[in-house]
Chain A
Amino acid sequence: MLRNSGKPISEKAITVWRWTGALGTLVSGAVIGGMAWVLARFHVPKWCLGMLAGIWLIEVVLWVGWVPVLRQRRWRYAIREEEIDIQRGVWSTKRTLIPMTRVQYVDVRQGPLLKRYGLASIAVFTAAAAHEIPALPMEEAERLCCLIAEWAKVADDNDA
Chain B
Amino acid sequence: MTRKARRRLHPIAIMAGLGKELKNMVVPLLVIMAAGSRHGFSWTDILVPLAALIYTLVMGVLSWLRFTYEWDDTCLVVEEGVFVRKKRSIPLERIHGISVTEGIWQRMAGVVQVHIETAGDALGEAEVTLRAISREEARRLQRCVEQAKHKAENASHPEPLANRPHPVLFTLSMKEVWVASLTSGGALGVVAALCAFLSQFSDFIPYEALVRDIQSTWNGHGRWYIALLILSILLAAYGVAIVQNMIRYASFVVRKQEDTIVIARGWLERKAVSVPVDRVQGVVIHENWLRRFFGYASVSIIHAGGALDGGPSGEVVLCPLVKKHRIVPIVQACLPEYRLDVPFCPLPQRAKSRYMLRPLYWLTIPVGVAAYMERPWGAGLLFVLPLALWIGARRYQAAGWALSSKQLSLRNGWFRRTTAHLLKRHVQSLEIATTWWQRKKQLATISASVMPVGTRSRVVDVDEEDAASIYRWLQGEKGDQT
Chain A residues within 8 Å of B, Cβ to Cβ: 1-2, 5, 7, 78-83, 85, 89, 91-102, 126-129, 131, 159
Contact B468 A97 (CB under 8 A): no
Q: List B residues 411-460 near A (Cβ within 8 Å).
A: 425, 427-436, 438-439, 449-456
In the complex, A96→B476 CA distance in Å?
14
A96 and B452 contact, CB distance less than 8 A: no
Cross-chain contact B475 with A82 (CB below 8 angstroms): yes
Assess whether B221 is interfacial by the CB under 8 Å rule: no
Name the residue on A nearest B437 (C-beta). Answer: A92
Q: Which of A7, A78, A129, A159 contacts B429 (CB 8 A)?
A: A129
Q: Which residues of A contact B297 (CB under 8 A)?
A: none
Inter-subunit contact A127/B433 (CB<8 Å): no
B449, A129: Cβ atoms closer than 8 Å: yes
Q: Is the CB of A128 within 8 A of B449?
A: yes
Nearest CB in chain B to that of A128: its residue: B428
Q: How many chain B residues touch A (Cβ–Cβ < 8 Å)?
A: 36
Q: Give the most central of A95, A98, A101: most B CB within 10 Å.
A: A95
> In the complex, A78 Cα to B477 Cα: how many Å?
15
> Known contacts A5-B480, A102-B428, A131-B429; is A83 also within 8 Å of B434 by CB?
no
What chain B residues lie within 8 Å of A99 (beta carbons)?
427, 429, 474, 476
Cβ of B478 within 8 Å of any chain A Cβ, yes or no, is yes
Complex alpha-carbon distance, A93 and B471, angstroms: 15
* B436 pairs with A91, CB closer than 8 A: yes
Is B100 an interface residue when CB atoms closer than 8 A count as contact? no
B468 to A1, Cβ gap below 8 A? yes
In the assembled complex, the CB of A31 is this many whole angstroms from the nearest CB of chain B, namely 25
Interchain CB contact (< 8 A) of B481 among A81, A91, A98, A128: A81
* Partner of A80 from B432, B449, B453, B478 at Cβ < 8 Å: B478
Contact B475 A83 (CB under 8 A): yes
Residues of B bordering A, CB below 8 Å = 304, 425, 427-436, 438-439, 449-456, 464-465, 468, 471-472, 474-482
Chain A hits for B472, CB < 8 A: 2
Interchain nearest-CB distance for A148 vs B (Å): 11
Minimal Cβ-Cβ distance residue in B for A104: B428
- Give the distance in Å from the alpha carbon of A99 to the alpha carbon of B474 in the complex: 7
| Closest residue of B by beta carbon distance from A100 | B476
Q: In the complex, A81 Cα to B475 Cα: how many Å?
A: 11
Q: How far is the CB of B180 from chain A (nearest CB, A)?
A: 30
Name the residue on B nearest A131 (C-beta): B429
Chain B residue at smallest Cβ distance from A79 = B482
Using Cβ atoms and an 8 Å threshold, which residues of chain A touch B452? 127-128
Q: Which residue of B lies closest to A126 (CB)?
A: B428
Report chain A residues within 8 Å CB of B435: 91-93
Instruction: Name the residue in B428, B451, B468, B474 with the highest tally of chain A Cβ atoms < 10 Å from its Cβ.
Output: B428
Q: Which partner residue on chain B sits nearest A144 by CB separation?
A: B482
Residues of B contacting A2 with CB < 8 Å?
432, 468, 471-472
Q: Which A-B residue pairs are the 4 nearest by beta carbons?
A: A82-B476, A128-B428, A92-B435, A128-B449
CB distance from B403 to the nearest CB of A (A): 14
Assembled-state Cα–Cα distance A88/B456 (Å): 19
Q: Is the CB of A95 within 8 A of B450?
A: no
15 pairs across A/B with beta carbons < 8 Å? A2-B471, A81-B476, A92-B438, A95-B432, A95-B433, A96-B431, A98-B428, A98-B429, A102-B428, A102-B429, A127-B428, A127-B453, A129-B429, A129-B454, A131-B429
A7 touches B433 (CB 8 A): no
How close is B188's CB to chain A, nearest CB, in angstroms? 29
Q: Is A83 touching B476 in the complex (CB atoms < 8 A)?
A: yes
Measured CB to CB, the closest approach of chain A to B50, in angstroms, equals 46
A1 to B464, CA, bound (A): 7
Chain B residues lying within 8 Å of A81, measured Cβ to Cβ, are 476, 478, 481
Closest to A102 in B: B428
